[in-house]
Each structure stands twice: as C-alpha cells, then as structure tokens.
Structure 1
C-alpha cells in the first residue's frame, strides 16, 4: 500500500521545516550543554559541595529521559510544535528559578525537573520526530544529521557565550539571559506546525500495539541498551570536564573552550553520520563510533595532559559525540516507520538519559570518594566497548508489518 505524505501549507516548504528545526535544536541544546560552567561558581556562591549541583543536573537528565517518551507520545497525537511551546516555557522558567534559589530543594525542582521537562519538550528529539513526519523518507537521514549538527553548533556557540556572560555579568544574570534566549523557540515552532494525524501517518496500528511491537523486537532492545552508554559518557564529560581540567591545574577558560571545540567538531561528526547513514550500515557506524570513543578516552588519560592534548581530545571526541543520534534515530524510523517516532525514539532516549544520570551523579560520587576522576574514566572506556558489542547483532530491516507482502 502506498503511503501519502500529509498535505502541508504551501509556505511550509522543506527548507522552512529544516531551518526552523535546526534553529530550535541549536537554541534548546545550547544552555543545557553549558551548564557545567556553572558548577563551580554556583556551588561556591551557595556554600554547597559539587555533588549538590551535580545531583540537580543528574536529575535533569533523568527527568528529560522519562519525559521524552511521554511528550513524544503527546507530540505524536497533537503535533510537535505545540509541545515545543510548552517545553520552551518550562525550560526558561527553570533556568530563571535556578538563578534565584538559595534552597537545595528548589534547585532540584528548577534545574532538575523544570529544565529536564523543558528540554524534553523542545530539544532535538522532537525536532527529529517532526522531520520524520514532514520530510520524505529519502531526506530523513540527512535531515536527522543536520538537525543534530545544529544542536552541536548550539553547544559551540553557547559555551563561549556562557563564559562571556559569567565574566561580564556573573552566573545569575547569565542564567537569566539564557532563559530569555529560549523564548525564541515558540516562534520558530510555527515552522514545524502541521496536522498531527493525516494520510502520512495513516495506519491501523494502535499506540499499545506499537509499544508491544517495539519492546518485543530484539534489535530495538539492543539499540536501547547501547544508547545508554552514549548518555553515560557524554553527560559525564559535559558536566565534569571543566572541573577536571581545573583540578589538574589548567585555567578555567580551557573548560569552556573544550566544550566549544566538542560542539564544533560534533557539527562535522553528526552531519557526516547522517549522510553516511543514508549510504552505509547504520549499525556498523554505531559500532565504530563507540569503539573509537573508548580509544580516544584511553589515549587522553594515558598521555600527559596539556592545553594542546585537551584541544586534540575535544576535537576527536567531538567527532564521535552525538554522531550516534542520526544512525540511532534512523534505525528506529527504518524498523518501525514514522507514525510513533516521537514515542519510540523517546524510549530509546530514556535509556540515554538514565545513562546520563548515572554518568553525572557517579562522577560526583567518585570524585567525593577518591578526590579525582581516574576510576570513572576507565569505567567510561569499558562502557564504550560494551556498546560497540551490543550494536553488532542488530538487524537493519523493517519489521514484518512494513515489509512488502510476498
């Protein structure tokens, strides 16, 4: 049976969809990726240990993960644009409240719950979901790559912006300014507004059947397991890298520039992964990404650390950073189709965020216990090798429901 795409307004051309989605991805991902810059100044200003803010950010990642399939399901029913408006408001409110609070409980509510739900409602996962429904199948892998690359560009831009804000205005005003920037998202979401259900998403499969099909599919379970490691590694580096470099005697600015270089090179890595995912085996791409991550981390901790080695490490790990997202989301779309993409990729991303929670929190716990991050770096290396192994058996074909009748 031939599937038709939903009829869109004449002005909503593919270029408009991609540009608006990429801008949303950059703006939504930027402040979140720069939160590690606030770890030391916020902790010192409030007289808290690093573990307090680290726990708040760990909760943020966990809430983001649990909120993603929920908000993805809402987006599958009512449209991604509406959910993005709600997400941007929650995100901005959480950042503003973080700057104001002097209570650890309110910090967990603001930086943890509100920001976590906000990111789930307006970051790249819903942008990818919108792309899968609004763009033709032959353009999806490339669009997933450029959407993810735009989020990385946001990281590259917001890291030095955050450092400049901190130096010029202090950490509280910097958070308020980040909150104001997020208010552009509701206007950009107009470019992703389309019928939530229509001919493009027609089919007899129900929501419950879609979940049963996915969680009964061995390759989907393997994909979920592997994406856990992605979050475990990148969240630890995002939050703890600036403090790690400061601990070993490097100037605080190297932490900001490390995150910026990671974001810049991830633009290249994510876009390349999206392009290659349309031509090569997505599971093999994922196997190599995770294996090379472990190799890069091992080289970084075994060789003497210097400003040059930090920049080389940041560039190398940046190429492998979130280049996992285009082939991972591409496999979900390939196996199950776009109808419940928001929900099914949401559950994959939940695994990523559980890994993020443990990466951030355990990083703080290991530091508190040993006074350094050495043991955690080795744990991250082993996790990468595990992820490379679990992606190998994935079957890169649509489920039987989507295959032509013989």
Structure 2
C-alpha cells in the first residue's frame, strides 16, 4: 500500500509541476504573440507599406498555426509533449527574432506569419492542454484545463503592455529581438513534460492506432458538431480582437478606449477560462458551451442596441471577456472525455484547425465588409447568427465516452 501511495503522490506532484510550467509556457506563447499588434504602426511606417501587409502576415499566422496543430499533436501523442514543445519554442523564437530583420513583406509573411504560426502549434494550448490533461484524474481534469487556459489569458493581459513599452523604449526591431530571445524560456520549462511518454514508448492496452483514432473521430457525428462550433468561436474572437479598436474609433471615441477594451477582454478572459474549467467538472460541458455561445449573441445585441458610450464599450468588453476563450477548456475537455486522452492532442488539433479557419475569415471578411460598406454592421449580424447556430448544434453532442472492444489477447 505504501508503494502505491508513494507512486500516487509522485504522479500528483508531477501533475502540478506540469500545470505550473505549462501555464507559464502558455502565458509566454499567447502573450508575446498578442503583443504583435503594437508592431503594426512602426513596421508599416518604416517599410513604407500599407497596414494590410502586416495584417496579412498575422492572418497567415492563424492559418499556419491551425494547419500544423494536428501534426504537432500527433508528435506529442506518439513521442511525448516534450519534443513538440521544444521544437515549437525554437521555431517560435526564430520567427520572432526574424521579424527584426524583415525588410520586405515576404520576410514578414515568413517570420511573423509562417514561422511563428508553426511555433504556436507546439507551444499553445493544443499541446499543453493534452499534456496536462493526461496527468490529472478525471475528477480534476476540467479544473486543470481551466487553470491552463486562464494562464494563457493572463499572459495576454500582462505581456501586451510589456511589448508596447519595449517598442516605445527601444524601437520595434530591438523589441522583436528581446521578445524572441525571451520566448526561449519555454524550452527549459518543457522539461516538466519529459516524463510523459507517447504511444511509441507507452502503448495503451487497447492497442488503438493513430489511423484507427482518426477513422473513429471522423465517423462520429459529435466530433464534427464540436468542430463546427469551434469555427464560430474563431470567427468571433478574431474579428473582435482585430477590428474592435477601429469600431470604437468609428464611434468617435479615443484610441485609448479601444486599447483598454481589449485589455479588459484579456483580464476577464482569465476569470472566464478558469470558471469554465471549474464548471466543466461539475456540469454538462455541451450545455455550458450552448449557454456560452448564446450568451455571446446577447452581448453583441447589447453592443448594437445600446447608445454608444465609453461605459457601454467597457461593459461589452468585460462581458465578452468572460465568454472569450471559455470555450477552450470545455471543447478540449469534451474531446478527451469522448475519445480518451491518448490521442487528445492530435484530435483537438483538428478541431482547432476549424477555429483558425474561422479566425482567418473573421479578420479578412471584417476588412472587406468595412471597405465595401463603410460599416461593420453586417459582420456583427453574421456573428449573432453564428452564435445562435453554435449554441444549438451543441445540443445533439453525445458526451459519453466511446466504448471500444478490448484488444484481443496475445
């Protein structure tokens, strides 16, 4: 009994160390990337290009991140998360440092776009959530996922002002160098995940292969419903993150109001992500997602119907922050709950790819609609309709774990 108790204590210590280190990795990964927005004015001014150049680089970043996430997840599932995180951190750092040496649009697309996007696949919540989730027992797993998601949000809130201060004090080139070198801290932090072995070293008794896991998920209706809902999440958050400051300026308010609104989104996102993780351990995750998306529709309607004011913008930002990435612990938790933890990183990576397609379209269509109509109203209406759609498609999802036949005895 003492040996079993000692092993259990060791496993829980490992789980909490990984939770701590994973939270810092997520904070750095999300926070540094979120600070890229402050590079937009100085880069475009020095290179003599339009703002759409750097904006397109960030759009490419979203797509590359989503496209490479399943592959990073597959590496983590097969070989363990340590390799995926280390590789992602090195590519992330290389891309961020290369921004400082980007003198042409194509260099920006390569550095801030492709390299940082690929690096995010190894250092963001797609890998961290799967790794942390493996270490915690089912009754604590949702809470741990919520803490991890909240840590990334806290990094966004804390590091964006740091990025702004670096750009103001040293210029955008040195700021990119500092941020790129700082991101290498993720490499030693990844050591916390070294004990987690993948399927190559630690196959499950069920013997399910990667191909079988993919065929199982692709043939399961609930997987596609969850994937469709996450597309909506990406569309909404990317549109708001990029275009809210401009929308606020169009209402005649100071630029600082838009910046403060995004800071409030990040701050309240910490509360929302953590709360979603806690609630997901006690209540049905699909019904929580249903209420979350319907809540977004209500908040956007509030924004459009209320008389414009700074208070109205701050209330909107705070409320939307509570609903911002609360979808992440719930959606990832459902993937693990339905399909098991062994291939969670890869399967969640596929679900996340739909999120990034939505992100790309939200940013891109927001700009197109405004250029064509001089207003964001149409995209706000589309966001409301999508929120209603996402809310209702979560109702039919089957939350129960899939029952599989045991592997034949040898």
Q: How many residues align?
A: 398
Q: Which residue of 1 aligns with 2:318?
A: 315
| Structure 1 position 270 matched with structure 2 position 273 | yes
393-402 or 282-291, which deviates more: 393-402
What's the CA shift for 1:169?
A: 2.8
Q: How many angstroms does 1:57 deviate by? A: 1.1
CA distance in 2, matches of 1:126, 1:68: 8
Of 394-403 and 129-138, deviating more is 394-403
Q: 2: CA distance between counterparts of 1:308 and 1:45? A: 36
Aligned to 1:70: 71
- Do 1:16 and 1:191's aligned partners in 2 also have CA atoms closer than 8 Å? yes
Question: 2:354 is matched with which residue?
Answer: 351
Moved over 6 A (4+): none
Partner in structure 2 of residue 86 of structure 1: 87
The one-character-per-residue Cα deviations of 1:27-52 (angstroms, maximum 9, x if unpaired) are 11112223333334433333323322
Tell me, in whole angstroms, the C-alpha distance in 2 between the residues paired with 1:275 and 1:236: 28
How far residue 281 of structure 1 moved from its aligned partner, in angstroms, is 0.7
Structure-2 residue corresponding to 1:123 = 124
RMSD between aligned alpha carbons?
Answer: 2.2
Give the SS at the match of 1:13. helix
1:226 corresponding residue in structure 2 = 229
Match of 1:301 among 296, 300, 304: 304
Q: Is the 8 A contact 2:75 2:83 kept in 1?
A: no
Equivalent in 352, 364, 367 of residue 364 of structure 1: 367
For the residue of structure 2 that corresponds to 1:396, the secondary structure is coil
Give the C-alpha shift of residue 60 in structure 1: 0.7
Give the CA deviation at 1:293: 0.8
When structure 1 is superposed on structure 2, of 125-134 and 41-50 the one drifting more is: 41-50
Question: Contact between 2:268 and 2:322, CA under 8 Å: does it hold in 1?
Answer: yes
The CA deviation string for residues 78-116 of structure 1, in whole angstroms up to 9 with x for no partner, is 111111111111112212222321211121111111010
Distance 1:176 1:244 in 2: 32
Q: What runs of 5+ residues in structure 1 fail to find an aligned partner?
A: none
Secondary structure, counterpart of 1:322 in structure 2: coil
Distance 1:302 1:51 in 2: 30
C-alpha distance 156-253 of structure 1, shift in aligned 2 (>3 A): same
Does the CA-based 8 Å contact 1:228-1:352 persist in structure 2?
A: yes
Work out the CA distance in 1 between the residues paired with 2:300 and 2:172. 30
Flag the 1:372–1:176 CA change in 2: closer, same or farther, 3 A: farther
Q: Distance in 2 between matches of 1:235 and 1:178?
A: 22
Give 1:196's aligned residue. 198
Normalising by the residue count of structure 2, what TM-score does the alignment of the two structures yield? Answer: 0.91
Measure, in 1, the Cα distance between the counterparts of 2:304 and 2:46: 31
The 5 A counterparts of 1:3-402 are 10=10, 13-194=14-195, 195-197=197-199, 201-401=204-404
Secondary structure in 1 matching 2:100: helix
Deviations 1:183-209 (A, max 9, x none): 110011111212223558443111111
